[in-house]
Amino acid sequence: MKEGNNLLEIKNLNKSYGKTQVLKDVNITIEDNKIYGLLGRNGVGKTTLLNIISSQILRHSGEVLLDNEDVFENAKAMEQICFVKDRGIAFEENKIKELFKMAKFIYKDWDDEYKNYLVKEFNLNTNKKYEKLSRGYQTIVGLIIGLASRSRITIFDEPSLGLDAAFRYKFYNLLLEDYEKNPRTIIISTHLIDEVNNLFEEIIILSEGKVMFKEETDSLMESAYFLSGKEENLLEIINTKKIISREEFGTTVILGIFDNLSEDEIQDLKNKGIEISQIPLQKLFVYLTEQNVLKEENI
Partner 1 sequence: MDSTKRMIKFQNYGDRKSLEVFWLIMIAINIFSYILNYYIGTNSKAFYFSIGNSSTMSVAGLNVSVAFIYLLVVGICMYYKYFPIAIGFSVTRKSFYKSVIVSNITTCLTMAIISGLLLKVDRFIIAAIGREALVDFAFFNIVDDNIIYIIFSLFIQFLITISISNFFGVLLYRLGAVKFWGGVLLLFIVIQSNHFKIVKNILDSLGKIFTTRITPINLIYLLIIGLILYSLSYFIIMRTDVKVGAGEKS
Between 209 and 256, CB nearer to partner 1: 209
Alpha-carbon distance values, 286 to 39, 40, 94, 183 (Å)? 10, 9, 40, 30
At position 157, the amino acid (one-letter code) is D
64 sits near partner 1 (criterion: CB under 8 A): no
Total residues binding partner 1 (CB under 8 A): 37
Choosing from 65, 78, 266, 293, the residue that interacts with partner 1 (CB under 8 A) is 78
Give the one residue of 68, 90, 120, 123 binding partner 1; rule: CB under 8 A: 90
- Tell me the per-residue interface mask from 150 to 189 with partner 1, x by CB under 8 A, - otherwise: -x--------------------------------------
Q: Considering beta carbons, is residue 90 or 165 the nearer one to partner 1?
A: 90
Q: Is 101 or 242 the residue whose CB approaches partner 1 more closely?
A: 101
Residue 82 binds partner 1 (CB under 8 A): yes
**What type of residue is 250?**
G
> Is there binding between residue 146 and partner 1 (CB under 8 A)?
no
121: nearest Cα among 147, 87, 160, 157: 147
Strand partners, 202: 36, 216
137, 124 Cβ separation under 8 angstroms:
yes
Q: Does 85 bind partner 1 (CB under 8 A)?
A: yes
Considering the complex, state which of residue 102 and residue 238 has its C-beta at the smaller distance from partner 1: 102
Contact yes or no for 101/146 (Cβ under 8 A): no
Q: Which stretch binds partner 1 (CB under 8 A): 69-77, 111-119, 178-186, 267-275?
A: 69-77
Q: Please state the closest distance from residue 91 (CB atom) to partner 1, in A.
A: 6
Q: Is 282 in the site for partner 1 (CB under 8 A)?
A: no
Looking only at residues 93 through 112 of this chain, which bind partner 1 when binding is defined by CB under 8 A?
101-103, 105-108
- Binding range to partner 1, per CB under 8 A, among 80-88, 168-176, 179-187, 247-255: 80-88
From 61, 91, 134, 247, residue interacting with partner 1 (rule: CB under 8 A): 91
Per CB under 8 A, the segment of 29-37, 49-57, 254-262, 276-284 that binds partner 1 is: 49-57
What is the contact surface with partner 1 in residues (CB under 8 A)? Answer: 17, 22, 43-48, 51, 54-58, 73-75, 78-83, 85-87, 89-91, 101-103, 105-108, 151
